[in-house]
Amino acid sequence: MTMTFDFSGKNVFVVGGTSGINYGIAQGFARWGAKLMVASRKQDKVDEAVAGLKELGAQTGGTTFDVRDYAAVEAGFEETAKFFGGPIDILVSGAAGNVPGRLMDLSPNAVKAMVEIDLMGTFHVMRACYAHLAKPGASVINISAPQAFNAMSHQSPVCAAKAGVDMVTKSLALEWGPEGIRVNSISPGPIDGTEGMARLAPTPQIREAVTKSVPTKRMGTTDDIAKAAGFLSSDAADYVSGVVLPVDGGWGVSGASVVMTHAAGFMDKLKGG
């Protein structure tokens, strides 16, 4: 990563920060000098992430909780506050679960798991973080998804939950703005090498179709998302709040036009183009 920010002296907590995109964000802040905490459900994943972030030179701690359990989330924030010994400057909330499937093929419990992790989990993290945020000055980032604004087959619980996440972001930008807390969402496009893409694009054919459907013709990297989180938490974004920032090579704007982009090729051929 060539982009540099200076987050030395800043406390950054990444919930769900032990793998994939959120771990990439934590790595970014580690390289930029921040002190870090990461949290997720599994102790082995937390241990591995903490070790990796320490290798980058960051003072790092970890804690385990399930975002569906409010009392556990609250306890995790108390532990985090003790580790930092001061307020949280940057909070990233990105824990999520995704079981792709048509609604009628998903059990009610699978639907519940996705909505409770993605949406209720966001509510829990937001509610528990508030007491510990730097006021003024905190940057809060929720990790959303294109499903929030583009309906997708096999994704109805995630679509509904992430749309909810974005409205939590916007509502809290209103509620917390007067105290100098900025709240934004990042909506990553298809990010290579992640669990999310392993579940949504499990074959080379689907991967290729996804890549072709991105206007910039590549999948994103976790670095792409880390840089956006760095920007949103930096002075450069001092006046940015309540925003859902797609970081997706233009994927999110396409919507139904993706079909027409493919159809355009056939139309050109019909016209002899």
Interface ranges with ligand NAP (CB under 6 A) = 16, 18-22, 40-42, 45, 66-68, 94-97, 117, 121, 143, 145, 188, 190-191, 194-197
Least Å distance, CB 108 to ligand COA, is 7
Quickly count: other Cβ atoms within 10 Å of residue 42's Cβ: 12
Q: Which residues contact 127 (CB under 8 A, 6 or more apart)?
A: 70
Least Å distance, CB 151 to ligand NAP, is 15
Helices (H) then strands (E): counts for the chain: 11, 7
Q: Which does 43 bind (CB under 5 to 8 A by kind): ligand NAP, ligand COA, none?
A: none
- The enclosing H or E element of 11 equals strand 11-15
The distance from CA 64 to its chain's CA centroid, rounded to whole angstroms, is 18
Q: Which does 95 bind (CB under 5 to 8 A by kind): ligand NAP, ligand COA, none?
A: ligand NAP
Least Å distance, CB 27 to ligand COA, is 18
**Residues linked to residue 90 through DSSP beta bridges, in sequence order:** 12, 139
Which backbone phi and psi does 107 adopt, to 5 degrees?
A: -75, 155
Helix residue spans in 191-249 (DSSP H): 195-200, 204-213, 222-233
Contact, 252 vs 186, CB < 8 A? no
Contact, 13 vs 91, CB < 8 A? yes
Which backbone phi and psi does 265 adopt, to 5 degrees?
A: -60, -45
Q: Which of residues 130-169 bind ligand COA (CB under 6 A)?
A: none
Contact, 184 vs 244, CB < 8 A? yes
Query: Roughly what angle, to the nearest 10 degrees, separates helices 156-176 and 108-115?
Result: 30
Of 88 and 228, which CB lies nearer to ligand COA in the complex structure?
A: 228
Q: Which of residues 178-237 bind ligand COA (CB under 6 A)?
A: 195-196, 199
Least Å distance, CB 74 to ligand COA, is 20
The distance from CA 213 to its chain's CA centroid, rounded to whole angstroms, is 21
Of 121 and 157, which CB lies nearer to ligand NAP in the complex structure?
A: 121
Q: Which does 101 bind (CB under 5 to 8 A by kind): ligand COA, ligand NAP, none?
A: ligand COA
- Closest-by-Cβ residue to ligand NAP is 20
**Which one among 98, 144, 147, 169 touches ligand COA, defined by CB under 6 A?**
98
Least Å distance, CB 65 to ligand NAP, is 6
Q: Which does 148 bind (CB under 5 to 8 A by kind): ligand COA, ligand NAP, none?
A: none
- Closest-by-Cβ residue to ligand COA is 97
The residues binding ligand COA (CB under 6 A) are 96-99, 101, 107, 109-110, 113-114, 195-196, 199
